Each structure stands twice: as structure tokens, then as C-alpha cells.
Structure 1
Amino acid sequence: MTRTNTPTPLQPSDEVEAEAMRRAIELAEGLYPHQVEGLAFLLGRRRAILADDMGLGKTRQSILAMQEAAPQGPWLVVCPASVKRNWSREIQTALGDTQTVTVVGAESVPTKSYVGWVVINYNILTKHLSDLKKLPWAGLIFDEAHYLKNHTSQRSKNCRTLVDATTGEPAIHCLTGTPMTNRPRDLFPLLQIVKHPMARSFMAFAKKYCDAYSNRFGLVTDGASNLDELSTQLHGVMLRRRKDDVLNLPPKLRRWLEIDVPLGTAANEMRHVIEMLINGVADQATAQHSAGTNDRANRDRIHLLALLTKVRQKVAMAKVKATTEYVQGAIEQGEKAIVFTGFDAPAKELQKAFGDEAVLLTGSTPADRRQELVDRFQNDPNVKVFVSNLVAGGTGITLTAATQVVFNDLDWVPAHHWQAEDRAYRIGQTRTVNVTYMVATDTVDAFVQQALAVKTKLVEAVVDGDHSGHLGETDILRDLESALRQLSPGLADASLIESDDSKNRNQDWAKRVLEAAGDHLRSQFGKNGDSSLDDDAKDSAGEHPTLTPEMLRSLAQAITGPQVRQFEFPSSRDPSTKYVVSVSGGDVDCTCPGFQYRGTCRHVIEVKKKLALK
């Protein structure tokens, strides 16, 4: 192999390099070193697979890289339904609230002139495919891309159709924590999406890397072969980092995952709760009244709590499907998860969803069986999910086998959550723990999230992470009533909401009132001088480490664009015939006939091995 004497590519001017470095510093602000490396990798090629472990920030890296690589838009994100709202929020957090984001399902597919972001879930792609094909996508992101592992499935065909229908050279990112969920053949559809040369022939890929053979039923491709060579082939198109290999991560990462639930979930009951709170029912039972008045106040209080419990139960059940989908992604990645809920019905549904891979702990679990369940989760590799009632399993047990803690529903006593988080985050835990709160949009969860977030930050600021004390034990119901009393009479008047549907009217009104109450709560805590209460991006514990000059230079080089390198090989049959391997960023191409047919050849493999060693 020899380097060809091709003309030296034009070097960027000093002004261009200075601007690229300025932009690199701007993009890297607030990112971890591994995220800066990932950003540079994505910007160094138009099509790529980012296969980082869950919790390493693939979403943020992809958004920043996509905006930089294709700044004009529009951009399409295809993802599971459970993370659509989170994508919308992450886009606006990373790029600013001025970004236009259309979430299909709640909204229609935009017209051809649209230049913003569109987020859609895999399950409704078929319904909207014809409309989506009309837009001139500058970039496409396929999140949880292992959903496409079956290349004959409709969802996989839909995504390939979208890519093929998009003209020009759109930037394409496939994001997944499990690029090969079972076998090398699971990787093939992702290679098709990013138009990798190896995806030209499944037969050639299967024979080379799937240990394929024929029997009387056809071609069997569920094996694995030549994995070292496959790893080399993936150099330049796929970047994978494991959490255990990434330095400087904080010991605990907390996030709020917004999800959609059916329209009008618990809307009628929540309207009654808000009206009772506005009328001061919660405080009437403790006020000085006559015996008759106190009896009525106590009855009203009991009715209020019963209604509120019904609201919370309905919202909790509505989130089970999304929680199941999210946890499934974690266990497919090889992690164990704890799932907390405040009610038995969703706990049983969650346990049923995972079958023999889950154990269930509720308040009715006999005391002599509890340690047995803990031991099974801690020691049995086949038990991957610990489903627990928040109160029953939130204290007194150690579950350090888990690296994922997921709250299906939000408790109204903050200390319950803090204690439960520490079932995994305690002495004996050697890995980063990811804590995820599932938040149902347009429900009472919106206010509870605000209250939990600000109280957590305030307590951490005051007592350096000690979650004991008055703030943690105070019921959020009191915060809600206090905030509602500060609202203007017009805002609290449900009759001002225009809608022919009572369910829609109740939900719209409750949403408006709860958002105002949340804003009031945040402003009250903000008066204590903690400006970080408004910065959701700083939810996670720990500070971002300092980035090295080498990291920033690498990112700046990716921003200025890849340089083409060429390598020359003589033909084994006719040494006078020369084949040229061209490398441009992550794109590698060879002029030999074998590469043109199979998408791979010995020349490319040799070049990739050499580049991988550098």
C-alpha cells in the first residue's frame, strides 16, 4: 500500500481556523469530554451510527451536530413514542426556545416550506409517510435505531424509504445503545440507513459476518463470524463508548422524561381538586371552627384526598406503557433497573410486562420474602428489573446491581424519591446511576415535577446533598394550594376556556392553572438567590470537567470539514493495474471490482486497520 501523490488539499486560512476554534468552544460549552469527542465524530462525516450507552447524552450530541452540519433545516427525528416529548424539550434546551418543533401526533406533518424540527414516533410512520416524503430533509435522526433490526419489518422499510426519497446529501444519524442486540445481522439495517458500502449486499454481509449457511428452509443468518474484521470495518462509521469506559461522569445523573398520555387523563377529577384547593379546603380542617363546621371540613378534606389519589392512580396507569418501553431499552443494553410506583395496579402491570425477568415488591409482600427478592435481583443475571412500591421498597434495602432507577409516577413527598434513589446510589455502587422521572405532559405531573426539581436543588445547595429536613418532608399538596391562592381570579375561572368538549376544556384549564402555579413556585424559590433553579441542563450532580486543547482542536477540525486521503494498491492479478482507496472523514471507497459489488475489500480493510491504530 502506498499513499498516492495527490495534490495537497487546500489548508483552511488562519481566519477560517480561528472561526472554527471559536465555534468549537461555543459548541463544547457544558459538554463532557466524551460528548465533545462524539460531536467531532458526527461532524466528521455526513452519515454515522452513534452507539453510546444509555445515559451518555446521545440526544444532545446529535442535535448539536445536526444543526451545525445542516444549518438550514428541516430536520426529522424518528423515535419511540415514549421519548417524543423529551426530544422536543432537548432540542429547545440545546438550541434555544426560538427553535420550531412539531411533534407529529399532537400536530400534523408540516407543509413543504417548513424549516424547523419534526419529531415522530415509529408506530405512526406508515400513516404519515407520504407527507413526510414531500419535505426536503436536511438531516434525519433515527433514535433507538435497534428498533429497525428486522430489515423486513414495515418500520425498517419505512425508514429506508424516507432516506431514499430524500434528495441531496442529508446528514443521517442512527442512535442506539445496542447496535447488535443479538447478532451481526441486526446491524445490517443500520448500515442500510447510513448507506454504508457493506449494505449493498446482504448475502455477502451474511456469508462474511453472520456465519451464514443454507438448509432445506433457506439461508440461516443468526450466527456470527469474523467479528474482529467487522469491528475494523465499522471504524469511521460507528462510535461506541460504554459508561464504564467514560471518565469524569458524576456518580448520579437525574433527568425528567416528558411523555404523552391519552387526552383528558384524570382531567375531570383534577378540575375538582383545583377548585377545592382554590377554596381553601386543605386548610379548613386545621382552622378553628365550630364542631359542625369542623366535621364538614374534615369530610371535604377526605374527599379532596380521595380525588387526588384517583388523579394520581389514573396518571400512573397511563404511563405504564411508556415506562415499560424505556426500561426495555435499558435491559437490552445489559443494565439492571429499579422501577418505583406508588400504586399496586401499575406495579403489577409492570411486573407482568417483564415476566420472569422481574421481581415485584409491594406493601403486601411478606417480610420474610423481601430479602429473597433483593438477593435474586442482586445476584441472578436473569432477573433484570426490580418493580417496587415506592414506600415499601424505598428504604432499608440495597439494590446496587441496578444502574437505572425509574420512577413511573411522582410522589408528593420529595423525601420518598430521594430515599428511593439511594437504593442503587449507595456504598457498594461503583458505576454511575441514571435516575429517570417519567412526567406525563398536560397533567398534574407538570406541577409536581417543578416542586420536586426546585426542592431538590435548594436542599442540595443548602446542605450539600443531605436530603433530610423540612423541605423533603413537606407534602407538595401544601405547595400547590399556596401557589393556587396567588393566582388572579380570571386565570382560575374555568368558564373562560372555550371548548365544546368538557374533557378538553377541563384539561386545558387545569394545564393553564398548573403552569401558572408552577411558575409561582419557581419564582418563590428563586428569591432565595439560586439562579440555577431555571437551568434544567444542570439537573445532574457534579461539575463538567475542563476540556483539553486537543479536544477543542479536534472539534474545530471537524467543523472545517474532512480532508481526502488516498491510498494506492496494485491488483493481485495484474500489478500494473492500480486500485485507489479514498478516505474522506468516515467515508471510505475503493475502485476495485470487489468493493463495488460487496461494499468491502481487502484494500479497505487494510486502510481501516492502519487508521484505527492511529
Structure 2
Amino acid sequence: MPTTATAAPRRKKTSRRDEEAPLIPILARKVREVEAKAQRSKLGPTNRVKFQVIAFLVREERARVKADGELADAARAELLKRLDGVATILAKTAARDTSLIQLLEADQATSPVAKRMRRDWLLESGAELAPEELVITDVAPTRAPIVPAAIAEKQVTPPSVESRQLANPFLAPDLTPRPAAVPRRRLDGWELMGPLYKAFESGAGGGAATMPLPPTPEFDHISPKGREVMVHQSRFVEAVREGHRSFLLADEPGLGKTAQSVLAASVADAYPLLVVVPNVVKMNWAREVERWTPQRRATVIAGDGTDIDAFADVFIVNYEILDRHLSWLGSIGLKGMVVDEAHFIKNLSSQRSQNVLALASRIRERERDPLMLALTGTPLINDVEDFDAIWRFLGWTNGEKPGAELMEKLDATGLTPADKSFYAEAREAVISMGIVRRKKKDVAADLPDKMVADLPVQLDDEFGRGIREAERELGERMAAKYRRIIEARGDRGLRHGEIDADIVRLVAHNELEESKAAGAGGDNVFTMVRKIGQAKAQLAADYAVQLQRSVQKVVFFAKHVDVMDRAEEHFAAAGIRSVSIRGEQSTPARQQAIDAFNTDPEVGIAVCSLTAAGVGVNLQAASNVVLAELSWTAAEQTQAIDRVHRIGQDEPVTAWRIIAAHTLDTKIAELIDQKQGLAARALDGEAVVEEPSESVQMAALMHLLREALGES
């Protein structure tokens, strides 16, 4: 590409300094924009290209000024000084972000985006460009392998997947006619990614970022028996029924994004479906598939996937282990993909992001119109360019320019980025591609005023296996006592396999009394629950971080101090300010923490003790509560939730209970809910099934004992 130093002169000379070098004010403005982004640590891909193009043009302009024989020496010195000022800002910016230094090494703009940016700025300055500089031709994309060489050795193929492949070695061919070659469009020569980001950054056009959705259908044809979708959910699913297939579903937490996605897959018949999720919600996704589409099978991939059901309809995998399963997942003919907490892929240089995008690309290659869903209440965390990876996943852009469908919508506006009104139209065009964003307050009429949502998590590490083994040993210890009592009293008419409820209650009572006396010593019901809380601490804190980035304020309840400590360390590492409300605090310190949480927008999470902060505390600045550990009483759980569900709260409240699946935690949650039923019957006159009146500890021990006796 010829530089301006060697090309024919492109400007008429005048005595005014900006007219002698009209490009310099443009470079000064652009470099200040890049500097401002770097100061806020928000240098995304577009601004990095902008940095590089500024450096190119500074070099070109300096060469042109030095070679211009018509300039007076004083004017030349002044222009060079101004160019040095731009170069100084570039150097300071590169010192702030040293990864920019390598961008200065190239001699000219090589990517189509950089070439378009250079051309547009030169045209803005009034330059006359050669015809070959006006038309920018895109480089033909090269297909990247789905499994990069760096992780090829990690690939596994579970035995059941081999069975599936042998059972059906040929995927059904896609006979849908391919579209003809796309004709050249009016906007093909424009750099559009920057303007698209700017359209959202400025909120051009105003209004909520939600595509038009169909009206609520007259009849609910999709819910399984005993369940009913809410109005906002049914409108989303109806859009899928009408043929829309790619969505950024950005509803606030608590509005049922998981259920909407499961139903969307059913309506679109997008099976096999891949769901990529954070580890903390894997079990919850499997449960939601069973709830909303009981005719479909879901399998959760853990480790190397040796226990998966390869003939399932829905494959659920967490980000951390996806890299091991890329090969076989890319070969089984997936017809849809859901990425939950999609802001996890915003860093395009991360292996996690590259894995997700590689699989998405493979699905679009093989399937004509796959269902692609990106779920996140926080699509933007640091910068508007956080949209980049999500838009690439959905196929709306390729990072350098809009995809064919979005380009068609932009072209239909009849505008260009040089028109001020382009930005509002561009924002609406992107939204119409499938952005759906509803807040709790928008759909409050659909929601209960208070809701408890359980998030089962799988403790599949050594710690989790140790907890399950300790539970088994405790159950066996009580079962041995039970058998000794039965043998000592002789046979009193018990049929084979029948369990004496009175002896079960007696053994459980004795164990509970011994546990209270032992305190923290040995394996008993109290130490076991504490270990479960410790094992869940990281997962619960992870979920609280995700919530906070979406809803701004979250209350995090835990029972034990070490769980609170670990959570606070995790929040600090994630860059989230938190306050702590504990039993040992003085009254002024506690009130100061409460006031900071309720009034300071920089404080995102209140870490609270279930016992110390469960009463007499007003935290209604939040409408979301995370219960990292379960209480022994239903009343204590209710009191904790009511710290935010109180007079002055104008949004529905959601409490997220983190429950360790396949452990005593699950039974304790069930028992707490039964105690809630007791309160509803006694105080509210509701008709609920009567349950035994034992304490939760007693009932939990009786459950373990019955399990042990059943196994034996």
C-alpha cells in the first residue's frame, strides 16, 4: 500500500495551519479517545486497531510534512511539534498497557478493518486517495480447526459416545438450498464495528434493548402438566416458534432464563443441544430440563465424561472441562448451543472463549439454522466491546464486520456512519437480531413477591467424596446401634425388612445428644454440615459474583465464619467491594456497614451471618439473596430473606439456596420447606400436608439411618 509520503500530493496548500495539515486535529482527537479508554482499562479490539492506525498515520504525516517543499520552516517545525505531541500520548498509552507496544512494530495497516479506518480518516481530512485505496477487499476467511494443536492431547472420547457414533455413523444431510452469493452492498466499504459499539455506548435512540416479541399466545401449549410459563417467558418462546433462532437473552436473574431456554430448544427441536455453563449451575440445568421437558434426557459431563449418557438429548458441560470434549462434541451433529453466563467468554484471547466460538462455528457450518442462545444478565461488564465475543458466538458479526443478515439490516436504513441518525438505526438493527432484556420491575405482575430458588451443585472433588463417605459411615454407625437394640430385645413381630420407627427415633435422638456433647469433635451431624458449607463456599461465592454484576446489590448469608471469610476473599479478588455484618461487631460498626451497603453504589455485596444479621437489619437496597449455607430452622431462613423483603422493597425478592447435591444438604433443604408448611398451616390457615414435628437435626439423622438400613 503506498504511503502518503510517496503518493501524489493530495491537498491544496493554504496559510492556515489546520488546512496545511488537516489530518493532525483528527489524529489528536482519536488519540485522546484511545488514551481515555486505556485510563479506564477498557481497550477492546476496536481501540487497539485505532491505536495502531494512529501510529501509522503519524509516521506517514511526519514524512509528508518533512518532504513538503512549499512549507515554511516555522510552519514545518510547528506541525512536527504537534505530531510529536500525538506520538507522546501514544507512548504514554503504550506504557500503561505494554501489550500495545507490539502493535507499533508493523509498517502499515494490513487488516481490512485497519485499512478502512485509515481510509475513512484520510477522507475526513479532505485527502484525495488513489482508486486502489478507496476499495478495501476482505481477506477470505480461513477455517480454524475446532481443536487447536495446543490442546489436542487433552481430547477424550467417552465409551458411550463411541457407541453412539457406531449406532449412527452418518449424520442426516442438510438439503436446505444454500443462498446465492451475496451481492455487493452500499455499506461494504465502511468500517462498521466501531460505529455499532458507539451506537450502544451512547444509547443512541434510547429505549430498552429488547426486540419486538409476539403477543402472549391464547393457550399454553408448551408447559408440562402441573407447570405454567409466565407471560414474559411465553412471549420469548413464541418468538422461537415463529422461527427466530439466535438470541442474547439478557433478562435479570430470577426471571427464568434457564426455563425459557429449555422450552425454546423443545419448540425448535434443537436436539442434540449443548449447554455450556459455570460449574455451580450444572445440576440445576439438568433439573430444569427434567422439569420443563420431561420427555427429553439430559446428561451432565464431569471429568472425562466416562459416566455420560451419549444418547441423551441435552449435553451439559462446564467451561473448565470443555477443552477435553471439543472433538466428539463437534462430531455428533449438534443442532443448538446455549452459553449460560455468556460474559464468561468476553476475553477473546482466553482458551475458554476460543473453545466456545470454535464449537459455535462448527455448528453453523453443519446446521442451516441452529438455535444459538447466549444467556447473561450482564452482557457488558467493562466496556461496550464486551459485546464482541457474544455477537461472534451468535453469528451476528465476525469481529471485523457484521454478518450477512445484520449487514442487510444496516444497508436497509439507507444511512452511513457519516449520518448522525445512523447510530439509532444501527442500534435497533442489532437489537432486532435477537436481544431480549427484561427487568424484574418490568414483569413484576408475573412474579411472586418472594421466591426461593434452589441451585443444586455437585461436589465432585476429593472433599465432596469425603463428605459422602463420612455420611455413609455415620449412617452405618447408627445402623449398627439399631441392630444391636433389635437383637437384644428379640423378634417382636417385625416382618423381614420392616423398620421399627420407635427404635429409629431413639437411635437418632441418642446420636443427636452425643453430637451436641462432642461439639466439633469427630464426625457428627454438626461437623458434617459445616464441612458441606466449606465445600460449597467457593461455588456460592462464584454465583454471588455473577449475580452482583447483573443486579448491583446482593446479600450473601452464611452460617460459619470461615465460609464468610472465604467469600470475602473471593469478592475482593473479583474486584467487588463488600461489607460484613457479624456477631462480634459493635453496634456503630454494624450500622456503618448497613448504611454503606444501602447507600454507597460502590458496595456490591453484604456478607452476613445467618444468626447475627438475620434479625433487626434492613438491607432492602438488594432484591437478591444468596444462602450459601442452610439453617437448622425454617424461621432463621425466613428471617434472613426478610432482611430484603420488607416495607420499602419495590421489586420481587429472590433467594438463591446453594444446595450440595447427593448429600445431607438436600434432605435438610427438604425438611426446612416442610417446616415452612407448618407455619403456613398454623399461622395462615393454609391446607398443607402434616409432617412430623421433630427438629431438622433429628429428622436428618433419622433419614441417614433409614438410608443405611435400606442399603443393608
TM-score for the superposition, normalised by structure 2: 0.57
Q: In the aligned structure 2, how far is the partner of 1:300 from the partner of 1:51? A: 47
Deviations for 1:96-119, whole angstroms, at most 9, x for unmatched residues?
1x5322111167179997352110
CA shift for structure 1 position 58: 0.7
Cα–Cα, structure 1 residues 383 and 67, in superposed 2: closer, same or farther, change >3 Å?
A: same
Look up the SS of the partner of 1:392 in the other structure.
coil
Deviations for 1:181-237, whole angstroms, at most 9, x for unmatched residues?
2322111211111111575528999xxx9xxxxxxxxxxxxxxx9467324422242
Aligned pair partner of 1:335 in 544, 552, 556: 552
CA shift for structure 1 position 457: 3.6
Tell me, yes or no, if the aligned pair for 2:299 and 2:309 is still in contact at 8 Å: no
Aligned residue in 2 for 1:368: 588
Aligned pair partner of 1:423 in 637, 640, 643: 643
Specify every segment of 5 or more residues in structure 2 that has no aligned partner in the other structure, as ranges.
Answer: 1-216, 411-421, 486-501
Aligned residue in 1 for 2:297: 100
Aligned pair partner of 1:144 in 341, 344, 357: 341
Aligned pair partner of 1:456 in 657, 665, 676: 676
Aligned residue in 2 for 1:475: 695
Aligned residue in 1 for 2:471: 270
Tell me, yes or no, if the aligned pair for 2:634 and 2:673 is still in contact at 8 Å: no
Q: In the aligned structure 2, how far is the partner of 1:110 from the partner of 1:298? A: 40
Aligned pair partner of 1:37 in 226, 231, 235: 235
* Matching residue's letter, 1:463: L
Deviations for 1:229-277, whole angstroms, at most 9, x for unmatched residues?
3244222421111112113122112111001122414234333433455
Q: In the aligned structure 1, how far is the partner of 2:602 from the partner of 2:626? A: 19
Q: In the aligned structure 2, how far is the partner of 1:397 from the partner of 1:130? A: 52
Cα–Cα, structure 1 residues 449 and 269, in superposed 2: closer, same or farther, change >3 Å?
A: same
Aligned residue in 1 for 2:517: 302
Aligned pair partner of 1:394 in 610, 614, 624: 614
Tell me, yes or no, if the aligned pair for 2:515 and 2:525 is still in contact at 8 Å: no
Q: How does 1:78-227 map to 2 (within 5 A)?
A: 78-96=276-294, 99-105=296-302, 108=305, 114-166=311-363, 167-169=366-368, 170-197=370-397, 199=399, 201=401, 226=423
CA shift for structure 1 position 297: 9.8
Which is worse superposed, 429-438 or 233-242?
233-242
Q: In the aligned structure 2, how far is the partner of 1:85 from the partner of 1:109? A: 17
Q: In the aligned structure 2, how far is the partner of 1:203 from the partner of 1:93? A: 36
Q: In the aligned structure 1, how far is the partner of 2:291 from the partner of 2:309? A: 26
Q: In the aligned structure 2, how far is the partner of 1:300 from the partner of 1:233? A: 61
Q: Give percent identity, aligned residues only.
A: 27
Tell me, yes or no, if the aligned pair for 2:396 and 2:402 is still in contact at 8 Å: no
Look up the SS of the partner of 1:394 in the other structure.
coil
- 1:239 aligned onto 2:440: no
Q: In the aligned structure 1, how far is the partner of 2:625 from the partner of 2:554? A: 6
Deviations for 1:436-484, whole angstroms, at most 9, x for unmatched residues?
1100112210111111223224433553399xxx999963012124445
Look up the SS of the partner of 2:332 in the other structure.
coil
Deviations for 1:483-503, whole angstroms, at most 9, x for unmatched residues?
4565684x253xxxxxxxxxx
Tell me, yes or no, if the aligned pair for 2:276 and 2:340 is still in contact at 8 Å: yes
Tell me, yes or no, if the aligned pair for 2:475 and 2:708 is still in contact at 8 Å: no
Q: How does 1:17-32 map to 2 (within 5 A)?
A: 24=221, 26=223, 30-32=228-230
RMSD over aligned Cα atoms: 3.6
Which is worse superposed, 194-203 or 242-251?
194-203
Q: How does 1:467-506 map to 2 (within 5 A)?
A: 475-483=695-703, 489=709, 491-493=710-712
Tell me, yes or no, if the aligned pair for 2:664 and 2:700 is still in contact at 8 Å: no
From the two aligned structures, give the one with the greater strand fraction.
Answer: 1
Q: How does 1:475-554 map to 2 (within 5 A)?
A: 475-483=695-703, 489=709, 491-493=710-712
- 1:326 aligned onto 2:543: yes
Cα–Cα, structure 1 residues 486 and 346, in superposed 2: closer, same or farther, change >3 Å?
A: closer
Cα–Cα, structure 1 residues 487 and 242, in superposed 2: closer, same or farther, change >3 Å?
A: closer
Q: In the aligned structure 2, how far is the partner of 1:305 from the partner of 1:415? A: 24
Q: How does 1:275-286 map to 2 (within 5 A)?
A: 275-278=476-479, 279=481
Tell me, yes or no, if the aligned pair for 2:299 and 2:308 is still in contact at 8 Å: no
Aligned residue in 2 for 1:52: 251
* Matching residue's letter, 1:329: Q
Q: In the aligned structure 2, how far is the partner of 1:156 from the partner of 1:297? A: 49
Which is worse superposed, 453-462 or 54-63?
453-462
Q: How does 1:556-567 map to 2 (within 5 A)?
A: none
* Matching residue's letter, 2:465: G
Tell me, yes or no, if the aligned pair for 1:339 and 1:387 is still in contact at 8 Å: yes
Aligned residue in 1 for 2:268: 69
Tell me, yes or no, if the aligned pair for 2:224 and 2:293 is still in contact at 8 Å: no
Cα–Cα, structure 1 residues 198 and 234, in superposed 2: closer, same or farther, change >3 Å?
A: farther
Which is worse superposed, 385-394 or 160-169?
160-169
Q: In the aligned structure 1, how far is the partner of 2:398 from the partner of 2:328? A: 30
CA shift for structure 1 position 372: 1.2
Q: In the aligned structure 2, how far is the partner of 1:137 from the partner of 1:203? A: 22
Deviations for 1:412-457, whole angstroms, at most 9, x for unmatched residues?
2221111111011011111111101100112210111111223224
Tell me, yes or no, if the aligned pair for 2:224 and 2:292 is still in contact at 8 Å: no
Look up the SS of the partner of 1:61 in the other structure.
helix
Which is worse superposed, 236-245 or 107-116?
107-116
Cα–Cα, structure 1 residues 305 and 346, in superposed 2: closer, same or farther, change >3 Å?
A: closer
Tell me, yes or no, if the aligned pair for 1:112 and 1:134 is still in contact at 8 Å: no
* Matching residue's letter, 1:89: R
CA shift for structure 1 position 64: 0.5
* Matching residue's letter, 1:345: D
Cα–Cα, structure 1 residues 308 and 180, in superposed 2: closer, same or farther, change >3 Å?
A: same
Tell me, yes or no, if the aligned pair for 2:444 and 2:651 is still in contact at 8 Å: no
CA shift for structure 1 position 400: 0.4
Cα–Cα, structure 1 residues 358 and 254, in superposed 2: closer, same or farther, change >3 Å?
A: same
Q: Greater relative contact order: 1 or 2 (C-alpha under 8 angstroms, separation 6 or more)?
A: 1
Aligned residue in 2 for 1:382: 602
CA shift for structure 1 position 387: 0.6
Tell me, yes or no, if the aligned pair for 1:112 and 1:135 is still in contact at 8 Å: no
Look up the SS of the partner of 1:187 in the other structure.
helix
Cα–Cα, structure 1 residues 492 and 233, in superposed 2: closer, same or farther, change >3 Å?
A: closer
CA shift for structure 1 position 143: 0.8
Look up the SS of the partner of 2:228 in the other structure.
coil
CA shift for structure 1 position 123: 1.3
Cα–Cα, structure 1 residues 237 and 25, in superposed 2: closer, same or farther, change >3 Å?
A: closer
Aligned residue in 2 for 1:549: none
Aligned residue in 2 for 1:314: 531
Q: In the aligned structure 1, how far is the partner of 2:246 from the partner of 2:385? A: 19
CA shift for structure 1 position 174: 1.0
Aligned residue in 1 for 2:654: 434
CA shift for structure 1 position 30: 0.7
Cα–Cα, structure 1 residues 76 and 405, in superposed 2: closer, same or farther, change >3 Å?
A: same
CA shift for structure 1 position 31: 1.1
Deviations for 1:113-158, whole angstroms, at most 9, x for unmatched residues?
7352110011111121112112110211111111111222211111
Q: In the aligned structure 2, how far is the partner of 1:113 from the partner of 1:268? A: 28
